[in-house]
Amino acid sequence: MIIDYSVRLIVIDSFCGAGGVTEGFHRAEDENGNKICKVIIGINHDEVAIKSHAANHPDTIHFVEDFTTLDPNRLVSIVHLAQIRYPNAKILFWASAECTHHSKAKDGLPRNADSRSLPEHIERYVEVLKPDIIGVENVIEFLDWGPLDDNGKPIRDQKGIYYREWRDNLINLGYLYDYKKLNAADYGAYTSRIRYFGIFAKEADNIAFPAQTHSRNGKNGLLKWNAVKDVLNLDIEGESIFNRKKTLVDATW
């Protein structure tokens, strides 16, 4: 086994999807250009997504499993081997849980309580794996997570109850906590998407958020937001949805 002292983070990507978050971790470098993160485990229930993830990250061990039922004890030996191979690394448990039924994009439609409760299962993994750091990403409405009424709508005066209980349960396992609402455009991305990022850590030094590099108008020494038109190839023509052999169903209009 080759020992690598440059790796700083051993990552478990618990909602790995097709691999966007994993790709970000694997691109991370230190001041000398050394790669500093290894995503050792990827979990997702979607077999197609895992195939895509595995094609791009073949060294990651993949579990085509439901996050709510996978036994975290099955991950222990993998983590222990990684700790031997990367002795300078902290263990990071990353959870980008499904956000649809928290998002305001659902508007007035009913929400699914089971989907909203996925973050509750993080606790099972933390109790077994005891990571140094837990990272959670979601829509900002996650902060309002609370009970639903009989019609599947959030109860206005009980917003945030479940979020605070979830937060406190993880803190009580021995973690410090902080969160921020970060706009991707403020860090050079070609989208102005705002998201919640929460960090639980055993040591205060491991709670840190990136310094802003961009702003809408590029003032105060910051760069101006990147325009998506700069990365779009408008010469590539797609297939019109109006001239299809098979007409669209009503729900897609």
**Mean pLDDT across the chain:** 91
Which of these, 32, 22, 24, 29, lies nearest to 7 by C-alpha position? 29
Q: How confident is the model at residue 105 (pLDDT cuts 50, 70, 90)?
A: low
Q: How confident is the model at residue 234 (pLDDT cuts 50, 70, 90)?
A: confident
**Residue with structure tokens 């230190």?**
30
Count how many Cα atoms sit within 13 Å of the Cα of residue 212 in the half-sphere of its side chain: 17
**Encoding tokens for residue 203?**
């040591």
Q: How confident is the model at residue 242 (pLDDT cuts 50, 70, 90)?
A: confident
| pLDDT for the residue 111 | 54
- Cβ-contact 201, 132 below 8 angstroms: yes
Q: How confident is the model at residue 192 (pLDDT cuts 50, 70, 90)?
A: very high
Which of these, 81, 87, 97, lies nearest to 41 by C-alpha position? 81
| pLDDT for the residue 106 | 52
Q: 11 in helix, strand or coil?
A: strand
Amino acid letter at 130?
K
**Encoding tokens for residue 221?**
């020494």
Q: How confident is the model at residue 251 (pLDDT cuts 50, 70, 90)?
A: low
Q: How confident is the model at residue 63 (pLDDT cuts 50, 70, 90)?
A: very high
Q: 37 in helix, strand or coil?
A: strand
Q: What is the pLDDT of residues 32-62, one digit of tens each?
A: 999 999 999 999 999 999 999 999 999 999 9
Residue 159 φ/ψ, nearest 5 degrees: -60, 140
- Position 167 pLDDT exceeds 80: yes
